[in-house]
Structure 1
Amino acid sequence: MKKVGIITFHAAHNYGSMLQAYALQQVILGMGYECEIINFRIAAQKKMYHPAFMVGTLYGRFVGFIIQITYALGILKKYRLFENFLKENLILSFKEYNTLKDLENADFCYDYYISGSDQIWNIQAFDFSYAYFLPFVRYGKRIAYAPSLGPHININKYEEINKILELLKKYDAISVREVSGSHYIESLINKPVPTVLDPTLLLTSKEYDKLISNKPLIKGEYIFVYSPWSNDDVYEMAYTLGQKYNKKVVVSQGLRNKREMLRWGRKFKIYAAVGPKEFLNLCKNAFIVCCGSFHAVVFSILFRKCFFVLDGINDDRVSTLLQITHLRNRSFSLLDNYLSAPLYIDYKSALSNLEVERQKSKEWLKDNLSKC
């Protein structure tokens, strides 16, 4: 049996990152291959996702704890839920690797190495490493499945472009996640680079149901708002929708500073103990999902939810997905009259179009694993 090693942002405490790693591994296992995720975790990424009141100076930790004191236990539980998902739902390499040098010194024996998906080729990302371009591979075939260069491509330095080009030339097959990324890579290597679906879209809602408890985390109808980073505009949209439809607004990522707590603390229900499985639960059972995130849009579509996405057309990742599903009318700015938008979404055409792209993406992956 051929063996596949995946390198991606699998250990980031970000719902989309961990779920896309899970999805890609499940798809490859389903194709009959052995598959491990190379457990590559750099120090910057580990530090970034520690609870805010557990890092920094003593004074900073104290202030962070006071700000989040009402849900500090939930934040600690959230950290454990992510780590548990990592250990229980992903098949990882036996060793953990923390640097590119660690990978170069490792004795891997994979037949295929896959880099992707997520923003692993976004050189502006705080946890970026050239390891995600597979420079450590000695033997075996190199495949890129749906890596993203980020919401907006920003690679300007000649030395960076030249280094990336040399690494791309060593790949046996390359696909990317967004049309903009496809055009950019094509301009470098002078070869066609297809766009394929983010791995989370390769699984159906029924396949994700295996991870979700039958019991909703939140009783009653609610609006779920998710943005991985602080975003007052997304919060404003969710609050306004909550006022119109008389629904409570649930936020999972917690409020990060005093200003946010003063502005939103009494307006939202903060449910912080949310790992990947709990995130799926909140999406699936929401009355409305208010999205400031690509993967919030992904799971809204998969679970056939009413959703509003803020400025999605201005984000290459979201725009590509909305174009595939013909749901561009679910993208709004705060200046739009989004309160008059219908709550009902006819998903028949959207999911039919998505299924076509799902099969194309799976076929691309299957063909290139068998050819290489």
Structure 2
Amino acid sequence: MSRRVLIKTLPLHSNYGGILQAYALQRVVRDLGCLPVTDTSKPLPLQRRLRRRLWDVRRGIRMSLPARFDWRWRSAREATASQRAFIARHITGGSFVERAYTRRGRALLARRFRTFVVGSDQVWRASYADLPAQFLDVVDDLDGDRPRRMSFAASFGVDDIAEYRDGDRARVAELIRKFDAVSVREAAGVRICRDEFGVHAEQHVDPTMLLPADHYRQLAARAGVAPAPATGRLLVYRLDANDHLERTERELAERLGVPSLELLPTGGPSPSYREYAQNRSAYDLPSIEQWLACFASADFVATDSFHGCVFSILFNRPFVVYANASRGASRFDTLLGIFGLEHHLTSASSTAVDERVFAPDWASVNRVLDAERSRALAYLTANL
């Protein structure tokens, strides 16, 4: 009988990287012969759970009204409809951890799952995640045989745990020592686990890199997306406004002699109902499949996104990346260092783009990727 596995990650909203890492980890775990479910619930104390119930009732009423009467609240749901459709089609999910704060919910969790995996993305960064829930505190209260706990490519996001409160540090240290195996995504995470919590951690690539590039191309093709929407373009995937990156984008477009393609919509936040209805393309986010097809076909990529960098490497697309410090710069250092692509990193102090970014040694990169993929799969096989 296949082992049921519960994967604990961050809530899935409209973040492309967050959605794709959850998809990839679940797919890989399933391919290894398990029955995975991704839990994206957010454990809350009783008072906040009651408030959420009231909010759900209010939301139901609001959703029953015509869109134009309550547009400011609903615009985000309309704009992110394609992401939610992808999650519904491709990721098996449930709110088991949230329910486990009741006796009945704990019994259900214990009955259905005896193996728990935390990962991936910045699941252990205090400013993004619920601590100590992301270290599986709820598993301590389960009846029956001792559950198996492990992580895969979990990320602290930054170089230290200064964001952690003192009480959380002590509790996290207690919880992580109960893990059967610990895997982190960044080199800094290995050091944090050793120096702060006294545990050994292995370092592995993001789970999106465990699936081959052709898997993502086929995913886009099955959705009917145009096969090469960014051919002959400089693909720009920018999460935050940045003068240096925008200047670099203009220089790259001129150097390459190709037009730019902004991947994210250019409309501002919270449009009126009339503005949205008249120009939906300025506000609707591209689907996951469109996003993948653009990275797969771009002539060159300029980004400040970690997963934008990941998929540039996966699809062997020349790229430059601006290390977005507020979102976690250490992630870029480890990723680029693994593949010997440190010169693809640009910053506010950079005066020019390194000439090597225009002709990467993809054969060498792919050999390293194959080795990293094999090592990660061996870890998962041994510990699930």
TM range (shorter): 0.7 to 0.9
Tell me the TM-score normalized by structure 1. 0.80
Counterpart for residue 319 of structure 1: 333
SS in 2 for 1:113: strand
Counterpart for residue 131 of structure 1: 133
Counterpart for residue 30 of structure 2: 29
List per-residue Cα deviations over 1:37-72 (Å, max 9, x = no partner). 12415799x99xxxxxx9xxx9xx87x99xxxxxx8
List per-residue Cα deviations over 1:291-318 (Å, max 9, x = no partner). 2011111100110101011248992111
Residue of structure 1 aligned with 2:213, choices 195, 202, 205: 205
Counterpart for residue 221 of structure 1: 232
Report the more deviating stretch, 103-112 or 140-149: 103-112
SS in 2 for 1:228: coil
Compare CA radii of gyration and give the structure with the larger one. Answer: 2
Q: Hey, what's the Cα distance between the residues in 1 that align with 2:357 and 2:23?
A: 33
Residue 247 of structure 1 and its aligned partner are, at CA, apart by: 2.5
Residue 16 of structure 1 and its aligned partner are, at CA, apart by: 0.7
Counterpart for residue 158 of structure 2: 151
Counterpart for residue 51 of structure 1: none
- Determine if contact 2:230/2:297 at 8 Å carries over to the other structure: no
**Structure 1 runs of 4+ with >6 Å offset:** none
Q: Hey, what's the Cα distance between the residues in 2 that align with 1:341 and 1:298?
A: 18
Q: Hey, what's the Cα distance between the residues in 2 that align with 1:25 and 1:323?
A: 26
Identical-pair percentage? 25
Counterpart for residue 40 of structure 1: 41
Does 2:339 correspond to 1:301? Answer: no
Counterpart for residue 248 of structure 1: 259
Change (3 A) 1:105 1:342: closer
**Structure 2 runs not aligned, ≥5 long:** 56-62, 270-280
SS in 2 for 1:338: coil
**Structure 1 runs not aligned, ≥5 long:** 48-53, 66-71, 259-268
Counterpart for residue 111 of structure 1: 114
Does 2:370 correspond to 1:355? Answer: yes
Q: Hey, what's the Cα distance between the residues in 1 that align with 2:102 and 2:213?
A: 37
SS in 2 for 1:278: helix
Q: Hey, what's the Cα distance between the residues in 2 that align with 1:225 and 1:100?
A: 42
Change (3 A) 1:290 1:130: same
Does 2:286 correspond to 1:286? Answer: no
Residue 234 of structure 1 and its aligned partner are, at CA, apart by: 2.5
Residue 340 of structure 1 and its aligned partner are, at CA, apart by: 4.6
Counterpart for residue 330 of structure 1: 344
List per-residue Cα deviations over 1:22-49 (Å, max 9, x = no partner). 11111111111111112415799x99xx
- Determine if contact 1:252/1:270 at 8 Å carries over to the other structure: no
Number of residue pairs matched by the alignment: 337
- Determine if contact 1:182/1:195 at 8 Å carries over to the other structure: yes
- Determine if contact 1:222/1:248 at 8 Å carries over to the other structure: yes
- Determine if contact 1:5/1:110 at 8 Å carries over to the other structure: yes
Q: Which amino acid aligns with 1:117?
A: S
Counterpart for residue 69 of structure 1: none
Q: Hey, what's the Cα distance between the residues in 2 that align with 1:227 and 1:186?
A: 34
